Amino acid sequence: MAELKQTEEELKQKYAEVTSPDYIEKQLRDRLNLSKENEIVLVLPPDEVLKKFVPPDEAKEKADLTPNWRKWMNIFGL
């Protein structure tokens, strides 16, 4: 009998949760992609597709790794 009461309480809590306006709004947004009036929804492609649009990092390729002391020696012709 105690198990049934505990199960009943759990079900009541779950029911209260799923009937709350916040839960309903979250489900409408997440599952049905609905939005509020005057709200813009932006749907992005998966990360793998987005990474293809990122330009290569040219700064790493063009970085001058010459030590500063060597650069100064070249400037003064030493």
Q: How confident is the model over 20-35, as a mean pLDDT?
A: 91
Q: How far apart are CA 67 and CA 56, in angstroms?
A: 25
pLDDT at 9: 95
DSSP 8-state code for residue 66: -
Total-model pTM: 0.47
DSSP 8-state code for residue 17: H
Q: How far apart are CA 7 and CA 11, in angstroms?
A: 6
- 35-53 per-position pLDDT tens digit: 889 998 888 899 999 988 8
